[in-house]
Amino acid sequence: MNPQPETGSETGPAAAQTRAGFVALIGAPNAGKSTLMNQLVGAKVSIVTHKVQTTRAIIRGIATRDATQIIFVDTPGIFRPRRRLDEAMVTTAWGGAKDADLVLYLVDASRGLSDDVKDILASLDAIPHRKALVINKIDAVRRDTLLEMAAKANELAKFEQTFMISALNGDGCDQLSNWLAANLPLSPWLYPEDEISDLPMRQL
């Protein structure tokens, strides 16, 4: 990922005090990646729909709070490809994860550890970056089931943290955002403070 940083910018805190970096959101289709990015950015920067594979390209949403700028990368859902277009979308998703500073793997709690979810878990260790498991839609599942799901997922892949959230209503999202902000590298901000996406406004 090669954004064009703001060279010579005087906005925001001094560069030595700021953090900035890329956070990739990956998961099976309809895990809630777009909803989570919109929640964390605080604006609708990615399409949310029940139709699978709505996100066909990488979309960046930008959240700038205090001294930290988090650039979220909403990737296409990862699944077993059946067509050439499917293969390209899955390749795009993995590419977004490999280029990020931190990786969030979203699991739809209401669907559990499906075959697609397990396939992704089996491939995650090939990504050398720090990763967190994010179990979404927790309001639809009993707590004991959530804990069992989290334990099993952590057996199949190595995660630094596990978060249980509802991206739709924001439950647990503050804790997730705080963890991301604390673990991004020291860096000047990469975008202007008031920018929320690298897409042109007509595409939002």
pTM of the model: 0.78
The conformation of residue 11, written as its DSSP 8-state character, comes to -
Kind of pairing between the strands at 68-74 and 59-65? antiparallel
SS3 at position 186: strand
**Class at the top of the CATH hierarchy for domain 18-189:** alpha beta
What string of pLDDT tens digits covers the 204 residues of the chain?
545 545 444 455 555 689 999 998 988 878 888 899 999 999 887 664 444 444 344 668 999 999 999 999 876 544 343 434 334 434 444 455 667 899 999 999 999 998 888 888 888 888 888 999 999 999 989 999 999 999 999 999 999 999 999 999 999 999 999 999 999 999 999 999 999 987 554 343
Where are the chain's structural domains? Answer: 18-189
Measured CA to CA in angstroms, residue 111 lies from 28, 116, 156 at distances of 10, 11, 17
CA distance 38 to 124: 24
CA distance 66 to 43: 17
SS3 at position 79: coil
**b/e string for 41-56 if b means 16 or more Cβ within 10 A?**
beebbbebeeeeeebe
